[in-house]
């Protein structure tokens, strides 16, 4: 399901609602005072005249949170498989009055631009959605110029492990199917990113973001868990799950949740 393109664009990411639910948990309960999107932007090295592509742009979090830092002498092209996401991004950035952005709705496995066209490509937590990852990696390399750079964000296997363990403790059947080992099942994660990208890139570097969650409210955590698997929600499940997490928070003061995210920087 996580790589099912029809499900992703037609249900899970038809709008930004599910993504906003998950992003909100990180924003509200992340311990780091320096947010993820600002940290990611710090890693970029854009020069005047660059052309930059982002695939899987979502609802423009990266750009909205760094709009004052966006260089006016760089041309950006933002695309997403979801028409809803691409449209929302276009609307948000139009409101910012930035004039150096263009947009498209399309598939990262078939990018509608010629070879050697972009100086940099950004894939922020999206490569693990590709059903044919090897094809997608070759396609990203194809549109990059010689010496071009790919910035690909992803997670490591321990990411959010305590949240998934909590879901399993609440409901072993639900949790065992959908949560235990979830990030280990992804086709592109921090542990295997270098091996995968070296098939098309000469040099690969991984930079990790230092943060964890300290969650002190039950509902945002439960909403995060269920946002990805709404078809599995049974009658009364949400209320029962919230009560279960509330009891844990009352007993321990909060729930500490590991975060393991990073940026993989690959150069042709």
Residue with tokens 């924003």: 27
* Domains of the chain, earliest start first: 5-159+181-210+260-267 (3.40.50.150)
pLDDT at 181 over 60: no
Alpha carbons 262 and 91: distance in angstroms, whole number: 28
Distances 171 to 72, 115, 174 between C-alpha atoms, Å: 51, 49, 5
Write down the pLDDT at residue 12.
78
Write down the pLDDT at residue 112.
94
Cα 152 from chain centre: 9
Helix (H), strand (E), coil (C) string for 41-60: HHHCCCCCCCEEEEECCCCC
Please, which pLDDT band fits residue 18 given cuts at 50, 70 and 90? confident
Please, which pLDDT band fits residue 176 given cuts at 50, 70 and 90? very low
Bridge partners of 209? 261
**Average pLDDT score, the chain:** 91
Write down the pLDDT at residue 233.
63
pLDDT above 70 as % of the chain: 92
- DSSP label at residue 131: S
Alpha carbons 257 and 162: distance in angstroms, whole number: 5
Please, which pLDDT band fits residue 167 given cuts at 50, 70 and 90? confident
Better-scored residue on pLDDT, 228 or 255: 255
Question: Within the chain, how many helices (H) and strands (E) appear?
Answer: 11, 9
pLDDT at 122 over 60: yes
Range 25-30 average pLDDT: 97
pLDDT at 177 over 60: no
* Secondary structure (3-state) at 111: coil
Q: Which residues contact 42 (CB under 8 A, 6 or more apart)?
A: none
pLDDT at 171 over 70: yes
Indicate the pTM of the whole model. 0.93
Alpha carbons 169 and 146: distance in angstroms, whole number: 50
Range 183-211 average pLDDT: 94
């Amino acid at each position: 399901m996580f790589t099912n393109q029809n499900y992703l664009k037609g249900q899970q990411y038809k709008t930004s609602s599910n993504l906003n639910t998950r992003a909100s948990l990180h924003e509200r309960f992340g311990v780091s005072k320096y947010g993820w999107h600002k940290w990611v932007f710090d890693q970029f090295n854009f020069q005047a005249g660059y052309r930059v592509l982002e695939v899987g742009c979502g609802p423009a979090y990266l750009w909205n949170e760094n709009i004052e830092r966006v260089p006016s002498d760089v041309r950006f092209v933002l695309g997403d498989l979801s028409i809803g996401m691409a449209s929302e991004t276009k609307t948000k950035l139009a409101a910012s009055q930035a004039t150096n952005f263009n947009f498209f709705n399309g598939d990262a496995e078939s990018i509608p631009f010629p070879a050697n066209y972009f100086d940099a490509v950004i894939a922020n937590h999206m490569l693990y959605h590709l059903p044919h990852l090897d094809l997608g990696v070759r396609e990203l390399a194809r549109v990059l110029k010689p010496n071009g750079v790919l910035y690909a964000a992803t997670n490591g296997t321990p990411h959010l492990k305590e949240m998934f363990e909590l879901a399993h403790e609440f409901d072993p059947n639900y949790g065992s199917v959908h949560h235990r080992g979830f990030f280990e099942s992804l086709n592109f994660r921090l542990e295997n990113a270098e091996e995968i990208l070296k098939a098309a890139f000469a040099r690969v570097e991984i930079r990790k973001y230092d943060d964890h969650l300290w969650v002190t409210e039950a509902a945002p955590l439960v909403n995060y868990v269920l946002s990805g698997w709404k078809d599995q929600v049974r009658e009364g499940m949400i209320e029962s799950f919230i009560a279960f997490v509330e009891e844990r928070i009352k007993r321990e003061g909060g729930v500490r949740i590991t975060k393991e995210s990073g940026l993989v920087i690959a150069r042709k």
